[in-house]
Structure 1
Amino acid sequence: MEATNPTSKTTHIGRKISRIRELRGIKQETLATELGVSQQTVSRMEQSEVLEDELLEKVAKILGVPAEAIKNFSEEAVINIISSTLHHTSGLVNYNPTFNFNPIDKIVELYNDKVALLERLLQAEKEKNELLSRDK
């Protein structure tokens, strides 16, 4: 596979991945798990100036952005978007908050908590029934 070719210091792909990951609220550990690598591998990847296109595509998919968005990402553009948004908002009418969590992940987490609670309740009932049947 062909590696992404940096033309200057500002095209450091690893830093762009790191920044987008942070903006999306994704931890290195999560990215590592999704890629099937260690957190240290993700750390080294984020320190790399270049990345193979195939790996970049996988990372982009996990981050929920096109690979081109990573290649063309610039901190200045983000700052410009934020500052222009701040200047044009007049009160809370135009307020569009960005959350650093995925609502689906929260639903899954709540579901898993519910399942764990139900399993504990079932185990407690089993133990209670065993005690009652021994006493008879």
Structure 2
Amino acid sequence: MAITEAVENYLETILILSQKQPDVHAIDICSYLGYSRPTVSIILKKMKDEGLVTVDDDNHIRLTDAGRHVAERIYDRHNVLTELFILLGVSRDIASEDACKVEHDISDETFAMLKSHYRKLLEKSDKK
């Protein structure tokens, strides 16, 4: 299974939920993303088969190292892009929505340059 935008969203969601609560279940993902249980179950099975998540006997969903790597990459992109858009004057809600759209399609090279520029902007604002 290719790492599609949908899979990236699921992995990012599992990461976010796991930071907020001790155990993540399929129903938590359904609630967070607004998807039906059958839809989530199908994707979770595929992600499990691909070694991106594990599901234990209590149906606790956990990211594997490979899944965590993808999730952290996307989550970092989301956070940096959101904050950069806010610095540009975009409202937080719109900045977060737009970051979610851009985080999947932007190249590694372009993101690295944006992140570098964002850090420089933060350093300048800290010196004021």
TM-score normalised over the length of structure 2: 0.27
TM-score normalised over the length of structure 1: 0.26
Which one has the bigger strand percentage?
A: 2
